[in-house]
A and B are shown apart, each in its own frame.
Chain A
Amino acid sequence: MIQLKHIFHWVNQGGKRVFILKDINMEVNEGEFISVMGASGSGKSTLLHILGTIQEPNEGDYFLKGESVYQLKEKQRSLLMKQNIGIVFQAYHLIDELTVYENIETPLLYLNIPASERKARVAEMLDKFQIVGKKDLFPSQLSGGQQQIVGIARALIIEPTLLLADEPTGNLNSKQGEEIMNIFKELNQEGVTIVQVTHSEKNAAYGTRIITLSDGQIEHAKNDQ
């Protein structure tokens, strides 16, 4: 479903190229739950940003559902991504001025989905994560774990083909973290394809496959099943 081919990404430092990603080739199949691991600076966040098209590599190709992402026009690419990819951040990145309800609703606004359908889908999501009672609260009134649940709900509202998670438990204590990871696992079992970046072996173990990055290169891939 997703293919990265010969991805190179570098920065220039003192006239020298320092590679952040070097010849990355990877494939994500439908229903997978991939954990990307690696030391700090190994390039795993950049890889995730590239998958989420927040960032574009210096070289390489990205295929999503058979479309070559970098060949698309800005508008088409933007549409493709906002319909297919949901992202969960380590720092949650909820919008402070919006309530829980409005935060979850926001991606639908940008997809021009009619109000009645938005209402139904947000209600469903609130229900799913049992946060109906918190829908009118602002992010600052929630605990970190609760904020991250809202973050996940917001990422899922568009029914994404791919859910990206950048150290989703990094800012949480272990109990909250475990709760979040269980949510991911359940989602995966429901059929959501997930790629997560993590430091922790334990969290990585929730996934179906682990990719380890080292100095911008994939070390080895192993199947956990």
Chain B
Amino acid sequence: MLTTYFKIAIRNLKRHRLFSAINILGLTIGMATCMVIMLYVRHELSYDRFNEKADRIVRVTFRGSVQGEKMNEAHVMPPVAWTLKTDFPEVEEATRLRNGGFPRISYGEKSFREDALAYADSNIFEVFTLPLITGDPKTALRAPNSIVISKEIAEKYFGKEDPINKTLLLKDSNIGYKVTGVMENVPELSHFHFDLFASMASLPEAREASWMTSEYFTYLVLPKGYDYRTLENKLPGTVEKYMGPQLQQAMGITFSEFKQKGNKLGLFLQPLTDIHLYSGFMYDLGPRGNRQYVYIFIIIALFMLLIACINFINLSTAAASKRAREVGVRKVLGSERWQLVKQFLTESIVLTFIALAIAVIIVKICLPFFNNLSGKALDLQLTDPWLLSALLITGLLTAVLAGTYPALFLSSFQPVRVLKGAFQAGKSGISLRSGLVIVQFFVSVSLIVGTIVVYQQLRYINSKSLGYNKEQVLVLRETGLLGQKEEVFRQKLLRDSRVLSVTNSGYLPAGPTNNNNFFVYPGDGTATEQVKTLRYDVDEQYVPTLGINMLSGRNFSKDLASDSSAVIINEAAVRSFGWEKNAIGKTINAVHRNGSQGSLRVIGVVKDFHFKSLHERISPLVMVLGESDGLIVKLKTTDVEAVLQSVKVHWSELGPGEPFNYSFLDESFNNTYRFERTIGQILGIFAGLTILVACLGLFGLATFTTEQRIKEIGIRKVLGASISDIITLLSKDFLKLVLLANLLAWPLAWWGMNLWLEDFAYRIRIDWWIFIAAGFLTMLIAVLIVGIKAINAGRANPIKSLRTE
């Protein structure tokens, strides 16, 4: 019986080629999209799961708000780890990581700049599952100046030599670290990717009982089945007990006074497996995923599949008259209804699995493209049992979702009506099909609106006046490596006629930059309210080089020695200091890291410029004359490549062997919004695919309706109807549906996109024309599709269609 079902299914597919092709194409696109998204979502959800204790590890985080300024950090103070371990028996293990920055490391002749060094407590390997190839995980990081390196690093520095007990030199501090272990590379799906773990014991400051600095990523292992929230609820007490006294010493107020002023500070716990998707901290180990986009993608995947299934349902029920006679005959021949249901379901299963097979091939081909776009390394491994079963389940689910209704519908026909010819298939189920077409276009319109809004916001970002000039700005990092020769290098650059100006600063308004929290008391020293600002250490060329506008006052001057205690602030700082006008000449008192205070005189105010991304409001900024590593070069020419070449030559002359590290400011700026751009592109692709599938369905329905009404069209033509009359006749009904879909989709899209835009402090308003455009586009597509069918029908010789009966 089953083979018969298969045989019939295949023959039916062949016989109704157009409908089969439309259905398979639609399902293929739907399932291919689903597959890609499934891989993506699985990838995003499986971060850090490789750790054997993944479910028991939590990270301690720091959140608070001081004078309305939110603080949100993934790292905490040095004593947190040992304090929690001592005070709470449920903490089985506590370990810390500290980012080691970008040290230059050498072994013999070989010297590289590394970007994946961390300092780690000696028990790190008992918390995280990072197997050592050689060395004892328990003791490897116990001694000061010992280091565990990855296989990759071992090969890079030591080649075939055995690295154990060899010494790697950190050139900046000139301290040697003895290699005590080699580990497997940290898995890709880890929230940190360090290649070198130096022993925390090497850092004296890591043992300081200071609750005022925080650079230590702290992880705890809790007992099996223990709810981390129980511990989290006990943390406020700990904070008050240990941080309170130190806070009082630094700020002169008690912790409860501090809290009474509306300030908040606290430690929180975050499960390890939440780190990738549920973070969003100011300082974290590398970029995090975004769960919103995971949700959006899941919804899109379901929508795509739904739309493809709707195509199948629509076309199958519309084509019911073609199958009705068969159903009638079979029933007369003794078939029971469930047997027919099985037969029709077999057909949808066959169809779905053909589509699934094609989808697998398409995904295989398209994954590199998607990876390129999303920056992920997804792979479709058919040998993976999880994936294979997921695919099979998706296929079966789709088949059942698409096939059940048509199967029930088709198998319900009464033989007597069918065989007497009284059956008017195509008429039945019209309201259902209309509803489904509305759903399809509802989704399409929403996605079109979404895509347009994303692109508009991106264009807004690109065209927004940032308050500084990012074009033709070359950024050179680590010029301090040249030491004494840095000034020579600078002079050489200035002598180049293509260079407009050069400033010495590592602070950039876009891309990776130095950041320096700076707490100041505005006024003459009587103020008790601290204001959190950012401090830029610059020279007198900074403001002109970046094209920042002075609002009042003057820029720094080299000739005035008194400018060493001068400060230039931005408008936001003026506002938050509570000064209305005439900020010039006022003073602020600054708290330095070491606790000392100094007074700074305001000599200038700059117009607000966007030194943070447009996601965030412009915050108070102060600029002082000071040392900072890096040169920013403003060029006169657009031929930046040529300048870059000669700059490189100067560099290698002055600092042979030192890494030349450069970027362009406009590129860094664009990279800030890379994620949004990617989302825009992906959304655009999905919107396009959704519309394509919906259009396929509409085309199928139009084909079918035209066939059904061929006689009516013939009669109308004989009676004098023109082709345009016929097009109107046929497209009117479809247009009504598309219009209705638009009316339903607009409010939802408006609401959803406003939600997305809320993430930007600086954003566009959604224009009404976007909705009109989406509406017009969908209507146009619908008219075109129906029109093609209608023109064919209108052109046909009416005699032909009328003679058949």
Residue B383 is within 8 A (CB to CB) of chain A in the complex: no
Residue B725 is within 8 A (CB to CB) of chain A in the complex: no
Rounded to whole Å, the gap between the CB of A3 and the closest CB of chain B is 22
> Which of A81, A87, A95, A111 has the most chain B CB atoms inside 10 A of its CB?
A95
**B-side interface size class:** 20 to 34
Q: Which of A49, A81, A96, A98 contacts B334 (CB 8 A)?
A: A81
Cα distance A142–B12 in the bound complex, in angstroms: 19
B335 touches A110 (CB 8 A): yes
Rounded to whole Å, the gap between the CB of B325 and the closest CB of chain A is 7
Cα distance A111–B336 in the bound complex, in angstroms: 11
Residue B748 is within 8 A (CB to CB) of chain A in the complex: no
A95 touches B1 (CB 8 A): no
Q: Which of B7, B328, B333 contacts A110 (CB 8 A)?
A: B333
Residue B390 is within 8 A (CB to CB) of chain A in the complex: no
B416 touches A95 (CB 8 A): no
Residue A109 is within 8 A (CB to CB) of chain B in the complex: yes
Q: Which of A52, A109, A111 contacts B4 (CB 8 A)?
A: A109
Which residues of chain B (455-500) have a CB below 8 Å from chain A? none
B332 touches A97 (CB 8 A): no
Cα distance A140–B747 in the bound complex, in angstroms: 53
A95 touches B339 (CB 8 A): no
Cα distance A95–B11 in the bound complex, in angstroms: 12
Residue B415 is within 8 A (CB to CB) of chain A in the complex: yes
Residue B419 is within 8 A (CB to CB) of chain A in the complex: yes
A106 touches B416 (CB 8 A): no
Residue A189 is within 8 A (CB to CB) of chain B in the complex: no
A95 and B330 in contact, given A102-B4, A109-B4 (Cβ under 8 angstroms):
yes
Residue A120 is within 8 A (CB to CB) of chain B in the complex: no
B419 touches A107 (CB 8 A): no
Chain A residues with CB under 8 A of B328: 93
Residue A209 is within 8 A (CB to CB) of chain B in the complex: no
Chain A residues with CB under 8 A of B1: 109
Cα distance A98–B419 in the bound complex, in angstroms: 18
Which residues of chain B (335-370) have a CB below 8 Å from chain A? 335-336, 339
Residue B240 is within 8 A (CB to CB) of chain A in the complex: no
Rounded to whole Å, the gap between the CB of A122 and the closest CB of chain B is 13
CB nearest neighbor in A for B1: A109
> Which of A49, A97, A98, A111 has the most chain B CB atoms inside 10 A of its CB?
A97
CB nearest neighbor in A for B334: A82
Residue B326 is within 8 A (CB to CB) of chain A in the complex: yes
A55 touches B416 (CB 8 A): yes
Q: Which of A54, A87, A110 contacts B339 (CB 8 A)?
A: A110
Residue B765 is within 8 A (CB to CB) of chain A in the complex: no
Residue B329 is within 8 A (CB to CB) of chain A in the complex: yes
A97 touches B12 (CB 8 A): yes
A98 touches B333 (CB 8 A): no
Residue A154 is within 8 A (CB to CB) of chain B in the complex: yes
Which residues of chain B (766-782) have a CB below 8 Å from chain A? none
Chain B residues with CB under 8 A of A82: 333-334
Cα distance A145–B376 in the bound complex, in angstroms: 66
Cα distance A158–B4 in the bound complex, in angstroms: 19
Which residues of chain A (75-114) have a CB below 8 Å from chain B? 78, 81-82, 87, 89, 93-98, 102, 106-107, 109-111
B325 touches A93 (CB 8 A): yes
Q: Which of B12, B332, B335, B420 contacts A52 (CB 8 A)?
A: B332
Chain A residues with CB under 8 A of B329: 93-95
**A-side interface size class:** 20 to 34
CB nearest neighbor in A for B14: A97
Cα distance A81–B12 in the bound complex, in angstroms: 29
Chain A residues with CB under 8 A of B419: 54, 89, 93
Chain A residues with CB under 8 A of B333: 82, 106-107, 110, 154
A54 touches B335 (CB 8 A): no
B339 touches A97 (CB 8 A): no
Which residues of chain B (1-19) have a CB below 8 Å from chain A? 1, 4, 7-8, 11-12, 15
A49 and B416 in contact, given A97-B8, A98-B8, A106-B330 (Cβ under 8 angstroms):
yes
B332 touches A78 (CB 8 A): no
A95 touches B4 (CB 8 A): no
| Contact bitstring B313-333, A, C-beta under 8 A = 1, else 0 | 000000000000110111011
Chain B residues with CB under 8 A of A87: 332
CB nearest neighbor in B for A154: B333
A54 touches B332 (CB 8 A): yes
Q: Which of B15, B416, B420 contacts A97 (CB 8 A)?
A: B15
Chain A residues with CB under 8 A of B7: 102
B12 touches A107 (CB 8 A): no
Rounded to whole Å, the gap between the CB of B516 and the closest CB of chain A is 77
Cα distance A106–B331 in the bound complex, in angstroms: 11
Cα distance A137–B336 in the bound complex, in angstroms: 27
Which residues of chain A (109-128) have a CB below 8 Å from chain B? 109-111
B334 touches A107 (CB 8 A): yes
Rounded to whole Å, the gap between the CB of B3 and the closest CB of chain A is 10
Cα distance A93–B329 in the bound complex, in angstroms: 7
CB nearest neighbor in B for A138: B11
> Which of A49, A54, A89 has the most chain B CB atoms inside 10 A of its CB?
A54
A97 touches B334 (CB 8 A): no
Cα distance A82–B329 in the bound complex, in angstroms: 12
Cα distance A191–B484 in the bound complex, in angstroms: 120
B4 touches A97 (CB 8 A): no
A96 touches B326 (CB 8 A): yes
| Contact bitstring B2-38, A, C-beta under 8 A = 1, else 0 | 0010011001100100000000000000000000000
Rounded to whole Å, the gap between the CB of B608 and the closest CB of chain A is 74
| Contact bitstring B404-441, A, C-beta under 8 A = 1, else 0 | 00000000000110011000000000000000000000
Chain A residues with CB under 8 A of B332: 52, 54, 87, 93
Chain B residues with CB under 8 A of A94: 329
A78 touches B336 (CB 8 A): yes
Rounded to whole Å, the gap between the CB of B429 and the closest CB of chain A is 22
Chain A residues with CB under 8 A of B415: 54
Cα distance A78–B330 in the bound complex, in angstroms: 12
A95 and B334 in contact, given A89-B419, A110-B339 (Cβ under 8 angstroms):
no
Q: Which of B4, B12, B334, B416 contacts A78 (CB 8 A)?
A: B334
Rounded to whole Å, the gap between the CB of B322 and the closest CB of chain A is 9
B11 touches A97 (CB 8 A): yes
Cα distance A109–B416 in the bound complex, in angstroms: 22
Rounded to whole Å, the gap between the CB of A50 and the closest CB of chain B is 10
Rounded to whole Å, the gap between the CB of A78 and the closest CB of chain B is 6
Chain B residues with CB under 8 A of A109: 1, 4
CB nearest neighbor in A for B327: A95
Cα distance A225–B724 in the bound complex, in angstroms: 67
Chain B residues with CB under 8 A of A110: 330, 333-336, 339
Rounded to whole Å, the gap between the CB of A173 and the closest CB of chain B is 20
CB nearest neighbor in B for A55: B416
Cα distance A78–B334 in the bound complex, in angstroms: 7
Cα distance A198–B15 in the bound complex, in angstroms: 35
Cα distance A87–B419 in the bound complex, in angstroms: 12
Rounded to whole Å, the gap between the CB of B337 and the closest CB of chain A is 10
Chain A residues with CB under 8 A of B420: 45
A95 touches B335 (CB 8 A): no
Chain A residues with CB under 8 A of B15: 96-97
Cα distance A78–B27 in the bound complex, in angstroms: 37
Chain B residues with CB under 8 A of A102: 4, 7
Rounded to whole Å, the gap between the CB of A150 and the closest CB of chain B is 12
Chain A residues with CB under 8 A of B326: 95-97
Chain B residues with CB under 8 A of A54: 332, 415-416, 419
Known contacts A93-B329, A107-B333, A109-B1, then 18 further A-B pairs from the complex at CB < 8 Å, ordered by chain A residue = A78-B334, A78-B336, A82-B333, A89-B419, A93-B419, A95-B326, A95-B329, A95-B330, A97-B15, A98-B8, A98-B11, A106-B333, A107-B334, A110-B335, A110-B336, A110-B339, A111-B334, A154-B333
A-B contact pairs, 17 of them (CB 8 A): A45-B420, A54-B415, A54-B416, A78-B336, A93-B325, A93-B328, A95-B330, A96-B326, A97-B12, A97-B15, A97-B326, A98-B11, A102-B7, A109-B1, A110-B333, A110-B335, A111-B334
What are the nearest 5 A-B pairs in CB distance? A82-B334, A110-B334, A97-B11, A107-B333, A93-B329
